Structure 1
Amino acid sequence: MNFRYPNGKKYVSTRNMATHVPSHKTINYSNRGMTLEEDLNEANQYYLDRGIAVIHKKPTPVQIVQVDYPKRSAAVIKEAYFKQASTTDYNGIYKGKYIDFEAKETRYKTSFPLANFHEHQISHMKSILLQNGICFAILRFSTLDEDFLLEAKYLLSYWDRMKSGGRKSITKEEIENNGHMISLGFQPRIDYIRVIDYLYHLK
């Protein structure tokens, strides 16, 4: 079955692809190539299993464009497209508080491009804040293996700055000053709930 992104590019899964690691290089087992999404899904499962929080990744909407019917009782999807999500990546509840956030990665070392976000996601974040929900973005500098939680109020201010003709990215210094680094651990690797406890005094 062929899946395609909204821009028409074919989706290719790398989950089961073999990777070659040169024998002369030291292997870093701290991350094992986990993406930010995989790390967050692991953290959310940890929270769920222990009754800490109920937070899930929202499913990506799919538009089916070609279906075959080899049998009257069965349908086989031949081609589909990933539709652009209309909100953020994750939502749920923690200690009676509604949680909603977006997760993004960049390979840049000194700034985070605002092009990683979409207008509809920004609008959604504004709506969450108007309802007094807890809203933020988790930003990963993948080259540096550093993760930050940046509250939506700061992200929105940087977005508005860009819309007013300002810079099209958030400097790493701004993220370090207004965001909160998420210390990497073992279980879960990204314990972002600890940052939420600190920011919103939920302990």
Structure 2
Amino acid sequence: MVFHYPNGTPFNNNEAMKKKKQEKKKTVDFGKRGMDFEDEINQSNSYYLSRSIAVVHKKPTPVQIVKVDYPRRSAAVIKEAYFRQASTTDYNGVYKGLYLDFEAKETKNKTSFPFKNFHEHQIVHMEQCIAQQGVCFVLLWFSSLNRCFFFSGERLIHYWSEQQNGKKSLHLSTLESEGIEITLGLAPRVPYLEAVDTYIQAMKNETR
């Protein structure tokens, strides 16, 4: 099966799967359970949903199928498909009447988070959501340090714009001072809604 990006460039599924397997082998040890950051967020979302705390899901990637083979009546094999559009952010949902929209990223760097991990269309998407009063943020995981940070979309957009001045990454000290560090737990594993609550309260205090 052949997938194509929106610009027509073929997506090498074999290389992607190989890379995925390598990343799985090198994944950070979340309490020696062998799960990666995205898995932990998905499980946290399931925890929130099962307890009627929030409804947050990972966004599906839109795909347009263009070629299908039917080796037999009871089976169909997709041979070629295209990603309809560039993805926006990883997750969205509703919490306490607020629209949440966020991206989850991880790095092996120990001192900074490279801007190359983000795409311009994701930044534009966050700007559009924030303009509609949505709560946008990123969850950043430093796999070499076992540290997780909540960083608001507003601050990310601010620093993203500084790339024009040669800034290529978010320094760890910036995340420590302007972000919210998330301590991993058991249930939920990534209690990011606690950081959301802290962020919302801080925003309310600023407007008083």
TM-score range, shorter chain: 0.7 to 0.9
CA distance in 2, matches of 1:71, 1:110: 55
TM-score, normalised by the number of residues in structure 1: 0.83
Report the 3-state secondary structure (helix = DSSP H, G, I; strand = E; otherwise coil) of the residue aligned with 1:187.
coil
Unaligned runs of 5+ in 1: 20-27
* Structure 1 runs, 4 residues or longer, greater than 6 Å off: none
Match of 1:113 in 2: 114
CA distance in 1, matches of 2:113, 2:12: 24
Q: Are positions 1:200 and 2:205 aligned together?
A: no
How far apart are residue 93 of structure 1 and its match? 0.3
User: Kindly, what percent of the aligned residue pairs are identical?
Assistant: 51
* Structure richer in helix, relative to its length: 2
The answer to whether the Cα contact below 8 Å between 2:140 and 2:150 also exists between their aligned partners in 1 is: yes
How far apart are residue 29 of structure 1 and its match? 6.6
CA distance in 1, matches of 2:4, 2:134: 30
CA distance in 1, matches of 2:136, 2:2: 31
Paired residue type of 2:180:
H
The answer to whether the Cα contact below 8 Å between 2:30 and 2:36 also exists between their aligned partners in 1 is: no
Deviation string 1:82-137 (CA, Å, 9 cap, x unpaired) is 56643111000001011000111111111101011111100010011111111100
TM-score, normalised by the number of residues in structure 2: 0.82
Report the 3-state secondary structure (helix = DSSP H, G, I; strand = E; otherwise coil) of the residue aligned with 2:109.
coil
CA distance in 2, matches of 1:100, 1:169: 22
CA distance in 2, matches of 1:136, 1:5: 29
CA distance in 1, matches of 2:73, 2:49: 41
Residue in structure 1 matching 2:17, options 12, 17, 34: 12
CA distance in 2, matches of 1:31, 1:94: 30
How far apart are residue 9 of structure 1 and its match? 2.7
CA distance in 2, matches of 1:57, 1:84: 16
Match of 2:144 in 1: 143
How far apart are residue 79 of structure 1 and its match? 4.3
Alignment RMSD? 2.5
Q: 1:5 to 1:136 in 2, by over 3 A?
A: farther
The answer to whether the Cα contact below 8 Å between 1:87 and 1:124 also exists between their aligned partners in 2 is: yes
Report the 3-state secondary structure (helix = DSSP H, G, I; strand = E; otherwise coil) of the residue aligned with 1:102.
strand
CA distance in 1, matches of 2:162, 2:62: 31
Q: 1:81 to 1:151 in 2, by over 3 A?
A: same
